[in-house]
Amino acid sequence: MNIYTFNQTTGKSVHQFNSRGVIIHPLLKPDDPFQIGYFYLEANSVLGMHPAMCDQLLMVTSGRGWVRVEGEEKILVEPGMAIFWEKGEMHESGSDQGMTAIVAEGDTLDPDRYLPLTPLKKEYTS
């Protein structure tokens, strides 16, 4: 048996897209265009506006934060919510308090097949 860590202190900082306070741990990165990672968004963090390089699913596991697509208002997200961006969609996310999430990226993602849609979209207020 091997035991590994994916603590915030051992991850990789994300600096692209004017991001700040974001740490990722890649967890799965096969040769096919698909990967899974674990994000730490610190208090007062932002993962800056950027295009989705492929379909992306962000699954919030703890804390609270916000997401938005270009030209729209921030939407509050919390544990149990999964946010899906299609390839090419301009988006950003962040947190005032801190938030952790699992991110899956790949062209074969199909959240409609397994997850119910959330009808409620609360605008984020800081």
Give residue limits of the domains in the chain: 21-111
C-alpha distance from residue 73 to each of 62, 65, 78, 102, 121 (Å): 22, 13, 16, 23, 11
Radius of gyration of the chain (CA): 14
* Residue-level pLDDT at 7: 75
* Residue-level pLDDT at 109: 82
Confidence grade of residue 11 (pLDDT, cut at 50, 70, 90)? confident
Residue 22 is which amino acid?
Answer: V
Query: Is 0.95 surpassed by the pTM of this model?
Result: no
Domain 21-111 - what CATH class? Answer: mainly beta
- Contact partners, residue 41, CB within 8 Å, separation at least 6: 21, 22, 47, 63, 65, 93, 94, 95, 98, 99, 100, 101
